[in-house]
């Protein structure tokens, strides 16, 4: 779904279904050769721009410029390209160019940088526990390279940055970057950025704990230096609060006019003042939405899927026509009552692309999701593929495997003759929790292209050529 479009008292919310997903940012990061990875990032940026323009969208809140150093960070994870600042920067720059050269404004996020601690800013403020010197070595380079590539906007995140020591004058509490003048000055002055700064969603817990209400958050965000506020639930109330703050001298009218100038400049770069404002023809748009197995989408999937363990020399898998293969979907913890959705948090489809790909090759896939079904089907099966679902999800505040998933693995060790394969449809870090499991692959995203590529690699039609873009064996260190 896209945010509401506000005009006076009119609100229109439009749900857009379909489209071709290229997977997660970490799919691009996992392409082993950096030159090829940059070409893929450019192609994905172009694909994003063209599909967006097909439905009238001209601004994307991507790419993620965060460096995922903490394996337990619950919300960055596969949304980041890598834990290597240089690789993250190079891929951000390529995505920005691919996106903006084809008519879509890109957004570097989340400034000053996520991926450092183990907290989800949808729930409470995350913390950047770095000195300014270390921050300039780790977090700043991807933003600098992305801005050098011409990114037109930057998203400010709900992060506490103790090194800036920017505190509330009344309470003495550290301010999240979204309402921190020091964080905005850092972006404007150190990077020389004069494009649009947009807040992360204003209702997220990372900011809401620091304001009495949404209207206060909006005013404080603009006063700190942002140009736009993302997703207020009460836009009319927010507008009245802004006007009142101007009257009371809490907001500087000249500064707001500078924000208007930046927003109008962004719209001008996109040609929104021109007839047709860059919409694609219906034919072009429909083709883009119906070609998941063509071009860069398939190339990226095949270049990124990664074989982390082949202990039994089990690949390629040898099956005979008519063989039954169990697909065991292991559970993931689900937060309750969370409405926010983050990039990479896919909805599980009724149609399993992995099952469809196996069926097309003459095999009989059987999908199960509990040990009882597994044991029932195992009598006739020759192999089982365990599918791990650990992916970033807003509000869960964890990226670890669900305890129930570990139980299910333990409860299905028999029959011992059954060949077993394990694949993560998201986080590669789960391998740290499962050191004894063999035959483990990572595809980083549960989308049709990656699931089909996994089947092709499993059966030896293509090689596993991806390389995990994060160090799974290094202890977390700042």
Place of tokens 């997903």: 21
Other beta carbons within 10 Å of 186 = 22
Judge contact between 304 and 428, C-beta under 8 A.
no
Residue 186 is given by DSSP the state I
Contact 426, 470 (CB under 8 A): no
Query: Which class for 316: exposed (0-12), middle (13-18), buried (19 or more C-beta within 10 A)?
Result: middle
Residue reference for tokens 């834990």: 83
Determine the Cα–Cα distance for residues 273 and 3; give it in Å rounded to an integer.
21
Cα torsion angle, 189, 190, 192, 193, sign: negative
Phi, psi of 308 (to 5 degrees): -90, -30
Residue 355: half-sphere exposure toward Cβ, Cα within 13 Å: 16
Identify whether 200 is a catalytic site residue. Answer: yes
Read off the DSSP letter of residue 232.
Answer: -
Question: Is the bond into 415 cis (omega within 30 degrees of 0)?
Answer: yes
Q: How far apart are CA 290 and CA 414, in angstroms?
A: 42
Please pick, among 200, 227, 323, 329, the residue that the annotation labels catalytic.
200
372: buried, middle or exposed (CB in 10 Å: 19+, 13-18, 0-12)? exposed
Note if 122 is an active site residue.
yes
- How many alpha carbons fall within 13 Å on the CB side of residue 13? 5
Determine which one of 122, 158, 184, 210 is catalytic. 122
Q: How many CB atoms lie within 10 A of CB 418?
A: 16
DSSP 122: T
Catalytic site residues?
122, 200
């Amino acid at each position: 779904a896209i945010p509401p479009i506000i005009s006076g008292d009119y609100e229109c919310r439009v749900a857009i279904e379909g489209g071709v997903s290229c997977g997660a940012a970490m799919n691009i990061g996992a392409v082993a050769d950096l030159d090829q990875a940059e070409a893929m990032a450019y192609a994905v940026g172009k694909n994003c721009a063209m599909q967006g323009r097909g439905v009238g969208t001209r601004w994307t809140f991507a790419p993620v410029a965060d460096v995922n150093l903490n394996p337990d960070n619950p919300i960055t994870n596969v949304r980041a390209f890598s834990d290597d600042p240089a690789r993250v920067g190079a891929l951000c720059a390529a995505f920005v160019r691919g996106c903006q050269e084809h008519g879509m404004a890109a957004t570097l996020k989340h400034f000053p940088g996520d991926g450092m601690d183990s907290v989800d800013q949808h729930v409470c403020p995350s913390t950047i526990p770095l000195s300014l010197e270390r921050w300039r070595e780790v977090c700043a380079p991807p933003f600098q390279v992305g801005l050098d590539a011409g990114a037109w906007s930057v998203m400010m995140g709900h992060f506490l940055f103790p090194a800036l020591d920017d505190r509330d004058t009344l309470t003495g509490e550290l301010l999240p970057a979204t309402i921190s003048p020091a964080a905005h000055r850092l972006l404007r002055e150190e990077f020389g950025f004069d494009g649009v700064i947009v807040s992360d969603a204003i209702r997220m817990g990372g900011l809401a704990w620091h304001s009495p209400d949404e209207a206060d958050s909006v005013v404080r965000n603009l006063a700190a230096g942002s140009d736009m506020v993302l997703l207020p639930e009460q836009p009319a109330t927010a507008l009245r609060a802004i006007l009142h703050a101007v009257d009371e001298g809490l907001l500087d009218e000249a500064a707001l006019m500078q924000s208007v100038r930046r927003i109008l400049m962004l719209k001008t770069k996109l040609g929104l003042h021109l007839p047709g404002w860059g919409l694609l023809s219906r034919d072009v748009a429909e083709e883009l939405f119906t070609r998941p197995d063509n071009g860069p989408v398939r190339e990226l999937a095949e270049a990124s899927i990664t074989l982390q363990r082949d202990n039994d020399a089990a690949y390629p898998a040898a099956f005979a026509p008519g063989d039954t293969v169990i697909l065991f979907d292991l559970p993931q913890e689900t937060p309750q009552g969370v409405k926010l959705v983050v990039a990479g948090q896919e909805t599980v489809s009724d149609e399993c692309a992995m099952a469809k790909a196996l069926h097309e090759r003459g095999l009989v896939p059987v999908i199960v999701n509990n040990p009882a079904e597994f044991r029932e089907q195992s009598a006739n099966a020759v192999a089982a593929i365990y599918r791990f679902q650990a992916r970033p999800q807003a509000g869960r505040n964890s990226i670890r495997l669900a305890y129930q998933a570990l139980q299910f693995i333990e409860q299905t060790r028999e029959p011992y003759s059954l060949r077993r394969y394990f694949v993560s449809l998201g986080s590669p870090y789960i391998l740290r929790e499962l050191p004894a499991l063999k035959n483990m692959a990572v595809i980083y995203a549960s989308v049709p292209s990656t699931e089909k590529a996994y089947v092709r690699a499993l059966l030896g039609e293509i090689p596993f050529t991806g390389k995990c873009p994060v160090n799974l064996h290094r202890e977390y260190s700042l």
